[in-house]
Structure 1
Amino acid sequence: MKESIYLNDDLAIINFNKAYPKNGDDFLTSSTFANFIRMYIEYLKSYDEDLYLYALQGRSGREAAFEIIKLFRMLRIFRCEEVESIYLNDKAKLLEFVDELYNFWKKHQRFSVISSGMAQSLGADSYVLLDSNFNNLNLSLYRMMEERIMGRKNRVYRQMQAGTNAAVSVRMNKSRLSEKYDALQEIPFIDSVMLRTPMILHPKSNKRTGMFTERMDNPISGFTGDGDTWFCYPCKIGSLLAFIYFHRDFFASAVSLGNLFELANKEECEQKPDLICLFGNEDGKDETTFYHDEEEDMWVGCVSYNQRIEYFGYLKKMSLTLHNLAMMKKGWLPIHGAFVNITLKNGKKKGIMLMGDSGAGKSESIEALKALGNEKIKKIEVVFDDMGTIHIEDGVPYGQGTEIGAFIRLDDLDPGTPYRDMDRSVFMSPESKNARVITPAAPYDVVSTNHRIDLFAYANNYDNKMGLHRFTDMEDAKAVCKLGKRMALGTTQEVGISTTYFANPFGPMQKQEICEPLIDEVFQCLKDNNVFVGEIYTHLGFNKEEREGLEIAAKELLEFIEKQ
C-alpha cells in the first residue's frame, strides 16, 4: 500500500510504514491530516451547509484546511484569548466543527497496517503498542481542542476507540505456488491481527444472494490485483491451508476472519495451499465461482468486486465451499450444522451433531439445551457451529470442525448471550434485521481433533411435530437429509419452504455425484456403530417467538444424554 492513508467512502486504512505520528505536532503537521481535513470540509458541503460555510470563511477548501490546521497548532500552546483567528469569533461553531470532525472520523471503519519488524524502528515493542499509542494520541488531541475552546475541563471522560477498530502486521511471503500464480507473489500476508472488541461494523449489505458455481477456467487468468491494493489472510479451515486474498475495500470483513479461522503461522504459509480465494476481483463479471486446478490439486474461488459482497457471509461461505469440495475429494462428508460435546456433572459425555440449512434451528436448539440443562451440564465443548465433516477411521465415524468461531444471527441467540461474549465479538449492523455477531467458539486443537458422534439429527423447522424422533430405516433418514427441506426465514434470498441437496449449498449441492456415495458410506457406518440418527423438531418455521417447540426438543435431547 503506497499511500499513508487510504480513504474510500466509510473505510480508512492507515499505513504506519509511510507515516506514523509520534506526537501531536507530527500529527497536526502531517500531509495525512491535511488531506483528511480537506475531505471532511468537502463532506460538510452535503452534510451541514452552515458548518461548511463556516469552515470556508470565503476561502477554497485547501486554504481553509491550512488555516484550520494552523489554528489547531496554535491552540496546542496558547489559550483562545491569546490567539487571533476568524474561527474564534464563533466559539460555539468552532466547537461544533471539532466535534463533527471527530464524529466523521469515528464513522469510518478504521484500520492500521504495518510491516513486521517496523514497530521497533518506530520506538515500540510491537505493532499493538504502536496502534494503542495512535489511539491515545487521537483521543488526547480531540480532548485538548475541545477543552481549549470551551475554556474548561470536561466533567465526564469516555475512553473511546478514537484511533482504529483493528490493526494488522503484514510481511512478504514466498509460498510454494507455481509460476501460473506469480500474480499473487507480491501480495503481503497478514502475520498478526489485533481486534478492538467489541468491534461494531456496518456493511452495506446484510444478506447473501446468488450461488457459488463451478467454472471451467482458472480465475487466476483474470486476476486484476496487485501488492498495493490487495492483502492475504492465510488460515487453517479445518485441516486445510487456505490463502484468502482480498481487495483492501473489504478489509473489515477480512480482519473479522480473526474471530473465525485460525491464522496460519509462518512455516505453514511457506507451503502450497489447499485452497485459494480471490475476494473482490475487479473483473467486471459480478460472479461467485470456483475452479479445481487438477494439476496443482488446489481449489480456487473467485468473488467479483461488488458492494454487496461486503456482507461477511460471502467471504465465509466461499471459503467453506472450497473446503467442502476439497474434503469430499478426500472422502470426507461435509455437514452443514452444529456439533457439541456435552459433559454432565455426573460424568456422562455425549457428542451431539445437528444438521440443517440456515434458519433450521441448529444453534437455537443448542442454546435451548444450555438453558434447560444449566443445573445438570458441567461443560459444553463446541466442535463446530456451522460447518464440519464426518469421516471414517477404523470403522468408526468421527466429526471435525472448520472454524474457531461462529457467525450467528443475533435473533437466533438467547437475549443475554451476545452480551455475555461481547468483549471478544465482532458485531455486524446490530441495529438491523439479520444482524450478526462473530464470536470465538473453540480452540483450533478442539476443532481439528476427532470426536465421537453419539447422536445425529436433522433440524426440522417445518413439521408440526414435537421433540426428537429416531429413524428405524436408514433409507428414510438419508431421504430426509438429502431432500434438505426447511422453512426459509429470509436469512438468504429465500423465503418459505425450500429444499437444498443435503441441506448444504456449499459444495455438496454442486458436486452431488461425489457426495452421494459418501452419504451412503457414512450413514451405514452410523448405523453399524448404533449412533442415534433422527430428527429434532424446532418449530422455528411456524413462529420464531414461540419457544415451546425448542424447549421440548431440548428436554428430549437432555434425556437422551442422561439415559444413554
Structure 2
Amino acid sequence: MEKKISIANRQVILNYNKAYPKNRETLLKSKTFEKFITYFINIEKDMDVNIYDYLTNDGELTPEEAGRQFCTFLRLLAVFDIDEMEPTHFLKDNDTLNNVIEEIYRGWRSLQRFGFMNSLDTPDFGINTLVERDSKMNDLILRTYRLFSEKIANRPNLVYRQVQAGTNSCFSVHDSEEHWNEDYIGLKDVPIIDCVMLRTPMILHPKSSKRTGMFVKAEENPMNYLSIDPNEWFCLPIKVGKLLCFVYFNTKYTASALSMANLFELAPIDESNKRPDLLMIFGNEDGKNETVYWHDEKNGIWVGCISDHPRIEYFGYLKKMALTLHNLAMMEKGWLPIHGAMVNIKLKDGRQKGIILMGDSGAGKSESIEALKHVGKDKIKSVEVVFDDMGTIHLEDGVPYGQGTEIGAFIRLDDLDPGTPYRDMDRSIFFAPENPNSRMVVPTEPYSFITRNHPIDLFCYANNYTDSKGMKELTFDEIKQTCKDGTRMALGTTQEVGLSKTYFANPFGPMQEQEICEPLIDEMFTAMKDQGIYMGEIYTHLGFDKSNRQGIEDAAEELLKFITDDPKPEAE
C-alpha cells in the first residue's frame, strides 16, 4: 500500500514507513492528521449539526478549510494556554470545544485502526521494532488527547485510563522477491504479511453477523477474473492443519483477515515464496457476489474466491472457506474431515482419553465439552483441544488418529458458560458482542500440538433433535448412517432454521465432493470399529430448549463415566 493513510469502510490503515509521527508537533502538523480531522468533520455533517456548525463557523468554511484551520488551532493550543491565544471562533465556547475534543477522540477510537510497516525497508527490523513503534503511537495519541482536555478544563485530570488509543493491531509486510508460479503472476506485487501484533481484547463491530449461501464449485479458475489493485491488498500466509494457505484480502476486510492470526498459525517468512497448497481471494471486486472454489489440478492448488460484498465482513466466510479448501485437499490425500470437536481429557489419576464429538453448527459440541469440564472438575486435570470445529481422521498402520486445523476457537458467546468469555478475554477478539450470534476468537493450543497424531477412544455424534438422554453406543451400520445423514435441529446460527440434514454434517467439502468422501467414511469407520473405539451418540437437547441445559448436563455426566472407565452407559 503506497498511501500514507487510508480511511474508509469504518477503518483506518496507517503506513508507518510513510506516516509515522515521532512527537506531538509532527502529529499535529502532518497531512495524515489533517486528513482524519477533515474525515471527522464530513462525518459530523450527517451526525451532529452542532459540532459541524462549530467547526465550520456556521458553514462559512468548507470541511477541508475547517480541517486545516482546526489543526493550526490545535498546534497553538499545544503550546499556549487558552487565555494567551488570539480570539477565534474555536474559542467562543469552552464547553463546546471540550465536547469537540471528546468527540474527535471517540470518533478516532470508534474506527478499526491498523498500522503496518515494510520489514525489508526498515534497517535492523525486528518484531521489537514493530511493537515499539506501535506502542509509542498509542502513547502519543493518549498524551495529546489528555493535554487538550486538561488545557480546556484548566486543571489536571483526576482519573487516567490506559485504553488502546493507537491501533487495534499492527503488522509488518515484505514484497515477494520471486513469484512461485507464472499462472498466478497477478498476485506477485501484493505485500506479504510476516508478523502480526494484536492488541487484545480486541472488539470489532462487523456489519454482518451470519454466513449465508454455500461454497460451490466454480465454472473456471477465479484467477481468470481476478480484479485487484496490489496497493489495496495484502497476503496473509497461514497454516491450515499442515497445509500452506495464502489468504489474499482486500484491505476493506483487514479486521477480519488479521483476526485469522488468533485462529490459524502464521506461516514463517521462509515459506512465503513456496507454492501454496491452498489459495484464497477474499473481497474480489468482480461483481459476482459468489463464494466458490476451484481445483487447479495442473499446479496442485485449491483456489477459493469470495466476491466483494458487505455480507462477507462476517469472519465466518474467511474461516469456513479456509477449512473448505483444507478439507477438499485432505480428502484428495485420503484423510477424512470431521466437523466437530476433539479433546484429550487428562484425569488427576494420570489416565487420558481422546474423545471426538461430531455434528453441524448448533448441535452442542462445544457446550457438551464446557459442561464436561464443569461436572468433572474434581476428577479432570486438564482438557487439551485438538480441534474445536474442524479436524481430520487418518490411518497409520491401520490405526486411526485425529489431527486439528486451528490453533484457536471461533465460539458463539451464547454457547459458553457465562464466565468463560471473561476468563479468556485478555487474549480474545470479540465480534459484535452486543448482537445475537456474537462470537469470539481465542487461541487454545500450540500448532505443534494440533498437528500431532492423537489417539481416539470415543467417537460420538452430537444429537440435538431427539428426546433421548445421556449417551448411547450404536452399531457399526447405525453410526455410519447417523453421521452420513447429518441430521440436526438448526438454531439459526447459519441461514438454516428447523430440522435439516447435511451430508456427513459437513457442508465444507464432504457435501460438495460426496463421491470422494464416501469411501473414506467406510475406511475410517471400519478402522475405528476394528480398534474397539466406542462409537455412538450423545443427546444434547439443544433443539428443544436452549435455555434448559439439563440435556447437556446429562450428556456430560455420561461422557465423564466413560472417561473414568465406568461401564458403557445406555440411553434412557
Structure 1 length as normaliser, TM-score?
0.98
Q: Name the counterpart of 1:135.
A: 138
Secondary structure, counterpart of 2:231 in structure 1: coil
Alpha-carbon distance change, 178 to 52 in structure 1, aligned in 2, over 3 angstroms: same
Q: Name the counterpart of 2:565.
A: 563
Between the aligned partners of 1:80 and 1:302, the Cα distance in structure 2 is: 56
Between the aligned partners of 2:400 and 2:171, the Cα distance in structure 1 is: 39
Aligned-partner residue type, residue 42 of structure 1: N
Q: Name the counterpart of 2:50.
A: 50
Q: Name the counterpart of 2:89.
A: 86
Q: In the TM superposition, what is the alpha-carbon distance from 1:60 to its structure 2 partner?
A: 2.0
Between the aligned partners of 1:122 and 1:451, the Cα distance in structure 2 is: 39
Question: Is the contact made by 1:175 and 1:271 (CA closer than 8 Å) also made in structure 2?
Answer: no
Question: Is the contact made by 1:113 and 1:167 (CA closer than 8 Å) also made in structure 2?
Answer: yes
Q: In the TM superposition, what is the alpha-carbon distance from 1:62 to its structure 2 partner?
A: 2.0
Aligned-partner residue type, residue 486 of structure 1: R
Q: Name the counterpart of 2:570.
A: none
Between the aligned partners of 2:274 and 2:126, the Cα distance in structure 1 is: 33
Question: Is the contact made by 1:334 and 1:508 (CA closer than 8 Å) also made in structure 2?
Answer: yes
Alpha-carbon distance change, 168 to 62 in structure 1, aligned in 2, over 3 angstroms: same
Q: In the TM superposition, what is the alpha-carbon distance from 1:324 to its structure 2 partner?
A: 0.1
Of residues 271, 278, 282, the one that matches 1:279 is: 282
Q: Name the counterpart of 1:396.
A: 399
Between the aligned partners of 1:175 and 1:543, the Cα distance in structure 2 is: 56
Secondary structure, counterpart of 2:145 in structure 1: helix
Alpha-carbon distance change, 495 to 43 in structure 1, aligned in 2, over 3 angstroms: same
**Bigger mean CA deviation after superposition, 524-533 or 71-80:** 71-80
Q: Name the counterpart of 2:388.
A: 385
Matched residue count = 563
Q: In the TM superposition, what is the alpha-carbon distance from 1:488 to its structure 2 partner?
A: 0.4
Note the 1:124-273 alignment, pairs <5 A.
Answer: 125-174=128-177, 177-273=180-276
Alpha-carbon distance change, 536 to 337 in structure 1, aligned in 2, over 3 angstroms: same
Between the aligned partners of 1:267 and 1:246, the Cα distance in structure 2 is: 20
Question: Is the contact made by 2:119 and 2:126 (CA closer than 8 Å) also made in structure 1?
Answer: no
Secondary structure, counterpart of 2:230 in structure 1: coil
Q: Name the counterpart of 2:569.
A: none
For 1:261-304, what per-residue CA distance to the aligned partner results, in whole angstroms no more than 9, with x for missing partners? 00000222222110000000000100000000000111000000
Unaligned runs of 5+ in 1: none
**Bigger mean CA deviation after superposition, 37-46 or 425-434:** 37-46
Q: Name the counterpart of 2:543.
A: 541
Secondary structure, counterpart of 1:228 in structure 2: helix
Aligned-partner residue type, residue 139 of structure 1: L
Secondary structure, counterpart of 2:537 in structure 1: strand
Between the aligned partners of 2:55 and 2:158, the Cα distance in structure 1 is: 28
Q: In the TM superposition, what is the alpha-carbon distance from 1:455 to its structure 2 partner?
A: 0.1
Q: Name the counterpart of 2:313.
A: 310
Between the aligned partners of 2:517 and 2:361, the Cα distance in structure 1 is: 20
Between the aligned partners of 2:126 and 2:343, the Cα distance in structure 1 is: 46
Between the aligned partners of 1:91 and 1:402, the Cα distance in structure 2 is: 56
Q: In the TM superposition, what is the alpha-carbon distance from 1:59 to its structure 2 partner?
A: 1.9
Structure 1 stretches of at least 4 aligned residues deviating more than 2 Å after TM superposition: 117-125, 173-177
Does 2:430 align with 1:427?
A: yes
Question: Is the contact made by 1:119 and 1:130 (CA closer than 8 Å) also made in structure 2?
Answer: no
Question: Is the contact made by 2:391 and 2:403 (CA closer than 8 Å) also made in structure 1?
Answer: yes
Question: Is the contact made by 2:217 and 2:294 (CA closer than 8 Å) also made in structure 1?
Answer: yes
Between the aligned partners of 2:128 and 2:516, the Cα distance in structure 1 is: 51
Alpha-carbon distance change, 123 to 155 in structure 1, aligned in 2, over 3 angstroms: farther
Aligned-partner residue type, residue 258 of structure 1: A
What RMSD, in angstroms, separates the aligned Cα atoms of the two structures? 1.3
Question: Is the contact made by 2:324 and 2:509 (CA closer than 8 Å) also made in structure 1?
Answer: yes
Between the aligned partners of 1:102 and 1:457, the Cα distance in structure 2 is: 52
Q: In the TM superposition, what is the alpha-carbon distance from 1:195 to its structure 2 partner?
A: 0.4
Q: Name the counterpart of 1:332.
A: 335
Between the aligned partners of 2:27 and 2:481, the Cα distance in structure 1 is: 65
Does 2:386 align with 1:356?
A: no
For 1:395-434, what per-residue CA distance to the aligned partner results, in whole angstroms no more than 9, with x for missing partners? 1000000000000000000100010000000000001100
Q: Name the counterpart of 1:34.
A: 34
Between the aligned partners of 2:274 and 2:90, the Cα distance in structure 1 is: 59
**Bigger mean CA deviation after superposition, 166-175 or 339-348:** 166-175
**Bigger mean CA deviation after superposition, 230-239 or 118-127:** 118-127
Q: Name the counterpart of 1:368.
A: 371
Aligned-partner residue type, residue 533 of structure 1: M
Secondary structure, counterpart of 1:126 in structure 2: helix
Q: In the TM superposition, what is the alpha-carbon distance from 1:172 to its structure 2 partner?
A: 1.3
Between the aligned partners of 1:446 and 1:378, the Cα distance in structure 2 is: 18
Question: Is the contact made by 2:179 and 2:185 (CA closer than 8 Å) also made in structure 1?
Answer: no
Between the aligned partners of 1:97 and 1:121, the Cα distance in structure 2 is: 41
Between the aligned partners of 1:476 and 1:121, the Cα distance in structure 2 is: 62
Q: In the TM superposition, what is the alpha-carbon distance from 1:187 to its structure 2 partner?
A: 0.7
Aligned-partner residue type, residue 53 of structure 2: L
Q: In the TM superposition, what is the alpha-carbon distance from 1:538 to its structure 2 partner?
A: 0.5
**Bigger mean CA deviation after superposition, 321-330 or 85-94:** 85-94
Q: Identity rate of aligned residues, in percent?
A: 56
Aligned-partner residue type, residue 194 of structure 2: D
Structure 2 length as normaliser, TM-score?
0.97
Alpha-carbon distance change, 508 to 124 in structure 1, aligned in 2, over 3 angstroms: closer
Question: Is the contact made by 1:112 and 1:167 (CA closer than 8 Å) also made in structure 2?
Answer: yes
Unaligned runs of 5+ in 2: 567-572
Q: In the TM superposition, what is the alpha-carbon distance from 1:117 to its structure 2 partner?
A: 4.6
Q: In the TM superposition, what is the alpha-carbon distance from 1:118 to its structure 2 partner?
A: 4.8
Alpha-carbon distance change, 433 to 100 in structure 1, aligned in 2, over 3 angstroms: same
